[in-house]
């Protein structure tokens, strides 16, 4: 599988961003259903149209959520039809016999409202991470008649899509896999603020002098061009402009120019140049 459109570093960043935003979603659903809700760490992969499958959640129901401000594009949430039944039962406070459950207007409205709360909380978390307003459209629910029909509709203009898999647990009522799909362009938009000069390719650097963004992650000792989860979390906790915070307090006087505890690119370069000689302070002549 080729992932030339999205580097490994960008995939890691998408995973960490979604980990944070989906955590906010779980909190919103927990409040709405008045019960404990947990979401596992998302697994992010780029899938080609012919290799994408979701047999594990068939028969499936899809919910499409579009971004109307802050991000450009839309994503699709896929979940089991039986999971929709469980969620509706929790909302209504009553059990529905399997042979009586159908995706009528009321049940579709109920699952859309849950997804609206879930993705609305996610959008709020994204707004804080990206330092810009992010708004979503009203979710639209639909039944998936077949994998071929789904791929024909949503892979029509995209040979590859970003596929995020995670498990959602609602107390002792449900533990099930959810899928979230988004076009590569939307994934790149998500991480663009953290890679203002473009994320380096996942292949090990061949040039002796990588960009300062890459150098800033080197002290972690990860040994590769891919950020670890800890490094990405440190980056996301830094300035939203995409320049990573220093992982340790730095004695270099250049960092004082940033004004907010976040080093400028020039300060990072000065720190790295001084770090090699172990003398960040100017030495007397």
* More confident call, 70 vs 246: 70
pLDDT at position 268 over 70: no
Q: Which residues on neighbouring strands pair with residue 61, listed in sequence order?
A: 79, 143
Place of tokens 């509706």: 88
The percent of residues above 90 in pLDDT, for the chain, comes to 32
pLDDT confidence of residue 199: 58
Provide the strand spans (E) within the chain: 37-39, 43-48, 60-69, 73-80, 135-136, 140-143, 160-170, 174-183
Higher-confidence position of 123 and 268: 123
pLDDT number for residue 106: 84
Task: Calculate mean pLDDT across residues 149-171.
Answer: 86
Interval 137-143 mean pLDDT: 89
Mean pLDDT of 45-64: 91
Backbone angles phi, psi at 183, to 5 degrees: -70, 155
Averaged over 231-249, what is the pLDDT? 46
Average pLDDT, the chain: 74
The stretch 240-259 carries a mean pLDDT of 38
Does pLDDT of 205 surpass 70?
A: no
**pLDDT score for 201:** 55
Measured in residues, the chain has a length of: 285
Least-confidence region, from 15-19, 56-60, 190-194: 190-194
What is the C-alpha to C-alpha distance for residues 13 and 63, in angstroms, rounded to an integer? 24
Give me the pLDDT at residue 88, please: 87
* DSSP E strands, 70-129: 73-80
Query: How many Cβ atoms from other residues are within 10 Å of residue 250's Cβ?
Result: 17
Tokens 């459109």 belong to: 5
- Are 49 and 155 a contacting pair, CB within 8 Å? yes
pLDDT-derived band at 229, boundaries 50, 70, 90: low
pLDDT value at 135 more than 70: yes
According to DSSP, the β-strands at 37-39 and 43-48 are: unpaired
CA distance 44 to 16: 10
Interval 7-31 mean pLDDT: 91
What is the share, in percent, of the chain residues with pLDDT greater than 70?
Answer: 66
Peptide bond into 59 cis (omega under 30): yes
Looking at residues 35-51, what average pLDDT do you find?
92
* 174 pLDDT higher than 70: yes
């Amino acid at each position: 599988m080729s992932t030339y459109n999205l580097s490994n570093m960008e995939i890691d960043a998408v995973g960490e961003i979604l980990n944070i935003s989906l955590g906010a979603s779980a909190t919103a659903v927990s409040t709405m259903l008045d019960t404990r809700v947990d979401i596992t760490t998302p697994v992010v992969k780029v899938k080609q149209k012919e290799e994408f499958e979701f047999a594990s959640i068939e028969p499936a129901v899809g919910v499409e959520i579009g971004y109307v401000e802050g991000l450009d594009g839309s994503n699709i949430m896929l979940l089991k039809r039986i999971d929709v039944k469980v969620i509706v039962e929790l909302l209504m406070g009553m059990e529905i016999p399997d042979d009586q459950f159908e995706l009528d207007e009321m049940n579709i409205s109920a699952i859309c409202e849950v997804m609206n709360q879930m993705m609305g909380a996610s959008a709020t978390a994204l707004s804080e991470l990206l330092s810009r307003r992010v708004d979503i459209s009203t979710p639209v629910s639909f039944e998936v008649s077949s994998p071929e029909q789904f791929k024909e509709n949503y892979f029509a203009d995209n040979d590859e899509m970003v596929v995020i898999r995670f498990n959602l647990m609602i107390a002792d009522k449900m533990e099930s896999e959810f899928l979230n799909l988004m076009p590569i362009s939307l994934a790149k938009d998500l991480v663009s603020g953290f890679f203002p000069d473009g994320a380096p390719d996942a292949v090990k650097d061949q040039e002796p002098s990588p960009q300062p963004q890459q150098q800033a992650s080197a002290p972690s000792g990860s040994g590769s061009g891919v950020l670890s989860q800890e490094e990405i979390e440190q980056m996301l906790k830094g300035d939203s402009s995409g320049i990573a915070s220093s992982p340790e307090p730095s004695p270099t006087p250049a960092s004082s120019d940033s004004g907010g505890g976040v080093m400028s690119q020039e300060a990072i370069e000065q720190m790295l140049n001084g770090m090699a000689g172990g003398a960040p302070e100017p030495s007397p002549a």
